[in-house]
Amino acid sequence: MAKGPATLTTRRRRLAVDLLLFLVLLALLAFLFLSSENPYLTEKQALKGTQAVSLYGPGKTLARAEYDSHIVYLLQDGNSYALCRLSRPDPLFWSNGYLDAVTNDPDYPMMPLINIDSLLVICNDPEIAQVELVYYIYGGGKDGGFHVLRQTEPLVENCWLFPCHGSLATGTIDDDGFLLRGYDANGALIHETAVPEVWTDFWDLTIPEAR
């Protein structure tokens, strides 16, 4: 007898094996993609994934701010506010971002939340119409010295966002402290947080006056 011929049944069987191998290939590719550092196809998926991996929410999105290299989302879930920073896709796919959150305590007039390159201030006093952020970069070459950032409009509702470009700024804010000032609609200072101890006790700095 001759070798088994390519009957329709044989061809169907071969095709079934090939299809099975194709499914295995698809599963492996899907696994590799989903296990990669950039496993999302869209910004929305990346936001949802970052929230899930941070166990945050779902809550609601209060605002979205775009920057050259990243996008910042302001989220709220009950009393908890979060800043979620998503890097722009590199080159096609999105990755999990960074989410930092704070539980708002209305006893404090201004609640801060520091993210990688921005600082959020939640104002609990409705009289506050302007917010000022003061920080000091020790050394730091041309960037050294006091920096005063002022916002006259909230990002949304009672949330004021200060984009602090560069890790030097946020690193400084995080490590050496900062000062917040809240002004009313007439420009009068109504709230001021304590001056960081390191400014006065170690560096003997003269703090910039309020307006």
Contacting positions for another protein (CB under 8 A): 1-8, 11, 14-15, 18, 21-22, 24-25, 28-29, 31-32, 34-35, 39-40, 49, 52-56, 77-80, 82, 96, 99, 101-103, 107-108, 110-112, 114, 177, 180, 193-194, 196-197
Residue number with CB closer to another protein (14 or 150)? 14
- The DSSP 8-state label assigned to residue 125 in this structure reads -
- Return the residue matching tokens 């050259």: 68
Write down the least CB distance from residue 68 to another protein, Å: 26
Q: Judging by DSSP bridges, how do beta strands 60-66 and 130-137 pair with one another? A: unpaired
Nearer Cβ to another protein, position 35 or 186? Answer: 35
Handedness of CA 40, 43, 48, 53 (dihedral sign): positive
Cβ-based nearer residue to another protein, 18 or 157: 18
User: What is the layout of strands, in order, in the sheet containing 80-87?
Assistant: 60-66, 70-77, 80-87, 98-103
Nearer Cβ to another protein (109/154): 109
Cα separation, 211 vs 206, in Å, equals 15
CA–CA distance, 209 with 193 (Å, rounded to integer) = 13
The minimum distance between CB 96 and another protein, in angstroms, equals 7
Kindly state the smallest distance separating residue 82's Cβ from another protein, in Å.
8
